[in-house]
Structure 1
């Protein structure tokens, strides 16, 4: 389970350090791909394989399944962190998420998300106001 908010910096070569608390879990490999709202999703390899299996079971005759799978897999990049816990974010993914220097890595349960720091702040400001209201819809009877 990935939790928390971790401010990080992208270096001139497009690399960033993974949050220290998750380096061991991700040391064997991970997959970075496009996420919603112009962030990047970072999945441990095993979680990406689980999602791949689930999508393989979806009907290929459904246009939305084909469209989502094309973008999701075509933009995916498998990475292995170096000994220091750094990963390289490929240029097309950096461009998609608008990543320049200041980034935020957030824990999102089974994945990490990489955001441009200012984009994350804007998103958080816009969504925090509705956070309490949507709990009834997202987690009915649980919280």
Structure 2
């Protein structure tokens, strides 16, 4: 059992997770919005937001949304369950901030606050900007199965 566990579980820095998992999803959303004309097909929106089509349709129905355009696209993000939608919603919570605390980063990216605080301490700062975000992520290691 230990051999199985140790060969299947690894640590990687969160900058790798961000680069390989989060950034591509954000870029796909950006590309979709830049290259698609409204009204958007609900199947395409569900796909790019990483949710089941039925969940999107249910959310649209509950919020009286009859078509998906740029405004309603962002409206439904608040109610959808995918990790990328939750991350975007949390980022919006801090949209007026020019710098982020360890608590904010922990909240947005669902990271252990102690790991984030330790990364901030290694850098020697209490606040970071978007430019410094990857430096913090490089110092946070997460388990990958």
TM-score w.r.t. the length of structure 1 is: 0.25
Greater relative CO, 1 or 2 (CA 8 Å, sep 6+): 1
The structure richer in helix per residue is 2
Structure with the higher strand share, 1 or 2: 1
